[in-house]
Amino acid sequence: MTEIPMRKALTVLFSLAAAASPMASAAQEIPPAPTVTMEPTPSDPAPREAPKPADFAARAAADNLYFIRSAQMALEISHERNVRDMAETFLREHEKAQRELENAARSQGMTLQPELNEDQLAKLQALRAADPAEFDDVYRSGEMIILQSALERLSVYADTGAGGPLKAYAVSFYPTFRSHFIVLRSSANSQ
């Protein structure tokens, strides 16, 4: 008679018992977890509400105008190839975004006259006043800050905005703005 080592025998025995148990077949058909909804608490963030279409369009137009002007400045002043490449891409893509936004607004009965807000004006002034040796860092920093606001605005409008061409614009251009943010972040991290 062949002897089987005790450990191996127990392993085989437990494996056979587990395979034959009702739990084994139940494990194969696990129902989805129930959805639990909880009441909001004071520490929960406020729900994101979409701005009115005209407000969204005006702010988005100002964002594009900022990115166009800052990219133009970077192309004039920067000597760093990486920054110049980013600026060329950002200029081209934000000019396209601005045209698409103007078309979307027009189709919803709006005419856009973009105006920069105080923060955007301050960032452009800081860029203009930057020491040439620090220009590229000031450019990246300003772009990151304005892009974060623009991304949040696009995200909120894409998620909760009224249907129509402006919402389609937000959905369509969010990935472009997000890719700019990623490029800037990786550029800043490589410094």
pLDDT at 186: 87
pLDDT at 14: 45
Helix, strand and coil percent figures for the chain, each rounded to 5: 70, 0, 30
C-alpha angle with apex 186: 190 to 169, nearest 5 degrees? 160
- What is the pLDDT at residue 188? 77
User: Cα separations (Å) of 146 from 12, 149, 150, 181?
Assistant: 63, 5, 6, 10
Q: Say what the pLDDT of residue 41 is.
A: 45
**Structure tokens given for 147:** 């892009």
Nearest alpha-carbon partner for 140 in 80, 60, 64: 80
| Domain ranges for the chain | 53-189
Q: Which residues of the chain have pLDDT under 70?
A: 1-47, 191
Kindly report the CATH number that applies to the domain delimited by 53-189.
1.20.1260.10
pLDDT of amino acid 64: 97
Question: In this predicted structure, what is the pLDDT of residue 48?
Answer: 74
Please provide residue 3's backbone torsions phi and psi, each rounded to the nearest 5 degrees. -95, 135
